[in-house]
Amino acid sequence: MTAPKKLYIKTYGCQMNVYDSERMSEALGGEGYVPTETPDDADMILLNTCHIREKAAEKVYSELGRFRSLKDEKPDLKIGVAGCVAQAEGAEIMARQPLVDLVVGPQSYHRLPELERKARAGEKALDTDFPEEDKFDHLAGRPKAKRAPTAFLTVQEGCDKFCAFCVVPYTRGAEVSRPAEQVLREARDLVERGVREITLLGQNVNAYHGHDGGLAGLIWDLDKIDGLERIRFTTSHPNDMDDALIEAHGTCDKLMPYLHLPVQSGSDRILKRMNRKHTAEQYIRLIERIRAARPDLLLSGDFIVGFPEETDADFADTMALIETVGYGQAYSFKYSTRPGTPAAERAQVAEDVKSARLQALQALLREQQQAAQDTMVGREVNVLFEKPGREAGQMVGKSEYLHAVHVTGDVPVGDIRRVRILQSNPNSLAGALS
């Protein structure tokens, strides 16, 4: 028997890339690859890339350059680029970086085994199609090995919203939902392998239409799976939060009280230019309805500062919206020009203005996050334990609200236990088993 070849995958960007990397690794498992944690002993290196902001793509090119010496030492080493940069730039990547042997887009990675064989034969292998066939029908069955208690599960890909700043509709394509049966089968399989919490993924996951009852219908079917204890979903567009999904937040015990619902800006003028198709007021009303269904919900959001033509008054509207809504978690970014998107053509905001706004916005969000975390002290939460903590005798897991919680004690990985929160630290909580 020949020794297994080693595969090193580095994942950038969103959670869907984490899921895709796992599936790509499994696809190459059939070709005799086993995973390795370092590029140094790899026979194949795959960078699973993100194109959402400028810096993400630049990081990929600088990382690729670093592999030159490895390839000099080991000419058989194959280097591949997957993900959204692969989709957006295609053959350009090989032109710009001749070290690259293989380029595969997010919709065609079920063809990796063929592409790998082509690359091994010394040819350049490229596939950035949006194929007719469903990649999930063509990927090999998932392995049966036991796995960590939390897992991602992609249920929807692509986006039809066309926000003016965003490359997703171009790199991931049109909105496509996986049929509910296919998703439920995969979920049952994950649960058999030890998974207790599933996060349903989609670029616009609440537009899921692979079930007659939409995302809420899928969640209620997942709710029936014995052994599955927690359901989460990300990421959503405000306009696709339908009544059934809002209601599920109040009535489905397995659906966790955490919602990532990006608004991007609090200025109606900017929201319109962003093509978000809702106003700040509509978003605020929506949050009120969701909180009426689930009062303790922890809300998370995304914000962009310095979108083209954003004035100080527009930015003040965003700060005001944040004050009104109150976020327990948030991600914020300076606007980054993406070639091919409508906003790229418009009058840009100066870099120093963007930086100052980002600083102010992040200070406010940090304050809110810390306050939300501090309110947990004295409360009892349920923690799904995931791994040992950094200090001896400690275990760490996540509360319903996705806060990291440390306890001292010996709890098996995968157990959900009641914990009384004693202390709020900068990025986590400390508690005692009840």
Report the residue number, 159 or 248, with the smaller CB distance to ligand SF4: 159
Question: Minimal distance in Å, beta carbon 59 to ligand SF4?
Answer: 20
Distance (Å, rounded) from C-alpha 202 to C-alpha 205? Answer: 4
Kindly state whether residue 223 participates in binding ligand 5AD, applying the rule CB under 6 A.
Answer: no
Which residue from 333, 405, 421, 429 is in contact with ligand 5AD, where contact means CB under 6 A? 333
Report the residue number, 155 or 405, with the smaller CB distance to ligand SF4: 155
Kindly state whether residue 240 participates in binding ligand 5AD, applying the rule CB under 6 A.
Answer: no
Question: Minimal distance in Å, beta carbon 150 to ligand SF4?
Answer: 23
Q: Which does 307 bind (CB under 5 to 8 A by kind): ligand SF4, ligand 5AD, none?
A: none
Tokens of 130: 């949006």
Q: Is 335 exposed, middle or buried (0-12, 13-18, 19+ CB in 10 A)?
A: buried
Contact segment (CB under 6 A) with ligand 5AD among 4-12, 269-277, 332-340, 348-356 equals 332-340
Kindly state whether residue 171 participates in binding ligand 5AD, applying the rule CB under 6 A.
Answer: no
The pairing of beta strand 197-201 with beta strand 150-154: parallel
Distance (Å, rounded) from C-alpha 368 to C-alpha 300? Answer: 11
Question: Minimal distance in Å, beta carbon 54 to ligand SF4?
Answer: 16
How many CB atoms sit inside 10 A of residue 380's CB? 13
Buried b (16+ CB within 10 A) or exposed e, 421-433: beebeeebbbbee
Kindly state whether residue 431 participates in binding ligand SF4, applying the rule CB under 6 A.
Answer: no
Report the residue number, 190 or 261, with the smaller CB distance to ligand SF4: 261
Residues 235-294 touching ligand SF4, rule: CB under 6 A, are: 237
Q: DSSP class of residue 418?
A: E
Site string for ligand SF4, 158-177 (x = CB under 6 A): -x-xxx--x-xx--------
Kindly state whether residue 103 participates in binding ligand 5AD, applying the rule CB under 6 A.
Answer: no
Distance (Å, rounded) from C-alpha 297 to C-alpha 301? Answer: 13
Q: Which does 6 bind (CB under 5 to 8 A by kind): ligand SF4, ligand 5AD, none?
A: none
Kindly state whether residue 283 participates in binding ligand 5AD, applying the rule CB under 6 A.
Answer: no
Place of tokens 């996986």: 178
Report the residue number, 52 or 290, with the smaller CB distance to ligand 5AD: 52
Which residue from 166, 187, 195, 274 is in contact with ligand 5AD, where contact means CB under 6 A? 166
Report the residue number, 97 or 341, with the smaller CB distance to ligand 5AD: 341
How many CB atoms sit inside 10 A of residue 326's CB? 13
Q: Which amino acid is at 14?
A: C
Which residue from 156, 177, 265, 336 is in contact with ligand 5AD, where contact means CB under 6 A? 336
Kindly state whether residue 338 participates in binding ligand 5AD, applying the rule CB under 6 A.
Answer: yes
Residues 201-240 touching ligand SF4, rule: CB under 6 A, are: 203-204, 237
Return the HEC string of 344-368.
Answer: HHCCCCCHHHHHHHHHHHHHHHHHH
Per 3-state DSSP, the chain is made up of helix, strand and coil in percentages (nearest 5) of 40, 25, 40
Whether the ω angle into residue 235 lies within 30 degrees of 0, i.e. cis, is: yes
| Strands, sheet with 197-201, edge to edge from the N-terminal-most edge strand | 150-154, 197-201, 230-234
Sites of contact with ligand SF4 (CB under 6 A)? 159, 161-163, 166, 168-169, 203-204, 237
